[in-house]
Structure 1
Amino acid sequence: MTTANTEAGPTRGATVPAMGEELLSVQGLVKHFPIRKGLLQRQTGAVQAVDGLDFSVNRGETLSLVGESGCGKTTTGRLLTRLLEPTAGKIVFEGRDITHLSEGRMRPMRRDVQMIFQDPYGSLNPRHTVGKIVGAPFKLQNVKTEHGVKKAVQGLLELVGLSPEHYNRYPHEFSGGQRQRIGIARTLALRPKLIVADEPVSALDVSIQAQVVNLLEDLQEEFDLTYVMIAHDLSVVRHVSDRVAVMYLGKIVELADRVSLYEKPMHPYTLALLSAVPIPDTARKTKRERIRLQGDVPSPINPPPACRFHTRCWKAQDLCKKVEPPLIQLAPGHQTACHFPENATEEQAADALKAAETAGK
């Protein structure tokens, strides 16, 4: 893992800033990819990529989705932007249900919901100039600009730290960090309200990651943007997030504000993830125990019953194999899906077991 937060300046304040009203709400979101075999292409199973997510995002905040590869983070991001059709559940944006909007009715919504892709080169058409790439949203949405598209594009390039002279260049003439800035400029063209950033710095050099992270934060402050950040680098997540949702095998196992989650993680899986984050202070590093999970991540085609983490959890008991733990609030703003949470008071542990009894009935 990288340590971009050490280069990107100070992290957000110790307290979570007051956010605006709810911008996005997700209820019971499910995405299963069917597996088909034979001449008749009959469905023989399904990849349960996302299997029942509930969360909301407030206007102006950054919610990060973290977890191992294959946990469903990117699929969730593509569902939120409606690049994928949900199998079940509901997505509500600004009070409007957009879950199953047709392509035509979804088209105007594209102005408000945009995505930054992980690969800064693969997401740019190598046959098009930067001007054409960044100007494409204006053309696709038939948006008129005050001084013409070229001036608007050059202004966007300056906004993300590039030169207006780059207008006629092609993607292969730029470095990885510059390409990602081009992608960010394209995303900002229509002044969206929600941006889903899918691993926006993971493909970049460590020395460039901090610059792009700082750029995203500056843009958020300037344009009142709301981010859903998808990442696996917990040091970057700690720097940019207001709240963090930890995913495991298609489900959210913990959701809390950044300070609570990093200082007092309650789910064993979260504790294991945090134990792998390198600490620059060598004196502290010797005192922290690295938790190494046993076994591989189970297949999303046939996930374990009840608690999906019980096959790798050192605290698992018979209850974990029989009853799925509900995602409940054990502390103010801190939700956990675990029968035997870590760093929990006696009262919180009792609440977790009571929720298990209710779920098992």
Structure 2
Amino acid sequence: MSETLLSVQDLRMHFPIHKGLLRRQVGAVKAVDGIDFEVLKGETLGLVGESGCGKSTTGRLVTRLLEPTGGKIVFEGQDITHMPQGRLRPLRRDMQMIFQDPYSSLNPRHTVGAIVGAPFRIQGIKTEQGTKKAVQDILELVGLNPEHYNRYPHEFSGGQRQRIGIARTLALKPKLIIADEPVSALDVSIQAQVVNLLEDLQNELDLTYVVIAHDLSVVRHISDRVAVMYLGKIVEIADRKSLYTSPMHPYTNALLSAVPVPDPKVRTERERIRLQGDVPSPINPPPACRFHTRCWKAQEICKTVEPPLEQLASGHRVACHFPENAPTVTPAPETITA
């Protein structure tokens, strides 16, 4: 059994809505509203869902770029939920984040050497052969030329800029990396290169990933387990094979039915599930099961009782009153006594 590196319990993030001259709070955007998951050391957890479901907010909460409204974040057995920034600074060596846009996350006024060397300077870390040599080694590790040390971000392509962001993330040899849509802003031809790079680095440096994405094909390629989010809640979490071959939550089935299939015969035979209506507002989410307003299997209980995220198969947890592909339990035969 692998040890748990990260544990999240009932994590919540509500952004207050203020109105009027006195800035009175009139509501809150419930971006993340009570989620639980664990990440084992050395594995890759994929976090998927529609835009606005709370994936990126979850990543920023885990790395403590945002202060949680409630819940608990435990990293390597240490509660970091409301840890002061002074105590949190040393821990940031072990937790890093790859941002979605490889250009806006890099300072255009700084050279590549200054960008990738910033973690050494901020953490006050000295290397045997100097920071410049360490930065050049990292650039070579991610597939860039060490001579790029004195160049600026605008001189690179999108894929190269993302590699610079990855190099900065790897500078202090972290244990956990949160990758927020690491390939969504890249050309399709470059996406495979970056995904393969992430996998190679994981094997070489013993990294643990939480990959946030909406591209289910990328998530299937890189993840060991996958968690599906909808409107601030995790509705299903399972290992990659189980989730893609036997999805249980109706929302997961709808997502997978939208994945493009290259085989025309399979594509015509497959049922395409089209969800009706728009995603409800996180300011006033539906009661009980949040998916019931768009679910074709919804019944009265879905509108009144919130389904718990419970295990229906080995390592497969689902929050649904009427799951699909659920294993059937054969009742034990009655014993007839004389």
Q: TM-score, normalised by structure 1?
A: 0.91
Aligned to 1:127: 109
State the SS of the aligned residue for 2:177. Answer: strand
Aligned to 2:336: none
* Aligned mates of 1:207, 1:306 — CA distance in 2: 42
Deviation at 1:281, TM superposition (A): 1.3
Amino acid paired to 2:273: I
* Aligned mates of 2:169, 2:27 — CA distance in 1: 36
State the SS of the aligned residue for 1:158. Answer: helix
Deviation at 1:29, TM superposition (A): 0.2
* Aligned mates of 1:242, 1:185 — CA distance in 2: 23
State the SS of the aligned residue for 2:15. Answer: strand
State the SS of the aligned residue for 1:236. Answer: helix
Aligned to 1:152: 134
* Aligned mates of 1:146, 1:156 — CA distance in 2: 15
Post-superposition CA distance 1:192-215 (Å, at most 9, x none)? 000000000000000000000000
Within 5 A, what are the aligned runs for 1:21-60? 21-60=3-42
Within 5 A, what are the aligned runs for 1:318-329? 318-329=300-311
Deviation at 1:344, TM superposition (A): 1.6
Deviation at 1:182, TM superposition (A): 0.2
Aligned to 1:178: 160
Q: Which runs of 4+ in 1 moved over 4 A?
A: none
- 1:213 matched to 2:187? The reply is no
> Please, which runs of 5 or more residues in structure 1 have no aligned partner?
1-18, 351-361
Between the two proteins, the alignment pairs up a number of residues equal to 331
Q: Matched residues, percent identical?
A: 81
> Please, which runs of 5 or more residues in structure 2 have no aligned partner?
332-338
Aligned to 1:75: 57
State the SS of the aligned residue for 1:330. Answer: strand
* Aligned mates of 1:276, 1:255 — CA distance in 2: 19
State the SS of the aligned residue for 1:152. Answer: helix
Deviation at 1:242, TM superposition (A): 0.2
Q: Contact conserved, 2:308 with 2:319, CA < 8 A, in 1?
A: yes
Post-superposition CA distance 1:203-235 (Å, at most 9, x none)? 000000000000000000000000000000000
Aligned to 1:239: 221
Aligned to 1:300: 282
Q: 1:255 aligns with which of 237, 243, 251?
A: 237
Q: 1:64 aligns with which of 27, 35, 46?
A: 46
Deviation at 1:283, TM superposition (A): 1.5
Q: Contact conserved, 2:313 with 2:327, CA < 8 A, in 1?
A: no
Amino acid paired to 2:277: G
Amino acid paired to 1:185: A
Task: Note the aligned Cα RMSD (angstroms).
Answer: 1.0
Deviation at 1:282, TM superposition (A): 1.4
* Aligned mates of 1:276, 1:110 — CA distance in 2: 37
Deviation at 1:165, TM superposition (A): 0.6
- 1:165 matched to 2:141? The reply is no
State the SS of the aligned residue for 1:197. Answer: strand
Q: Contact conserved, 2:45 with 2:209, CA < 8 A, in 1?
A: yes
Amino acid paired to 1:103: Q
- 1:190 matched to 2:172? The reply is yes
State the SS of the aligned residue for 1:52. Answer: strand
* Aligned mates of 1:81, 1:280 — CA distance in 2: 37
Amino acid paired to 2:24: R
Q: TM-score, normalised by structure 2?
A: 0.97
Post-superposition CA distance 1:171-190 (Å, at most 9, x none)? 00000000000000000000
Deviation at 1:346, TM superposition (A): 3.3
Amino acid paired to 2:106: L
* Aligned mates of 2:178, 2:218 — CA distance in 1: 16
State the SS of the aligned residue for 1:346. Answer: coil
State the SS of the aligned residue for 1:286. Answer: helix
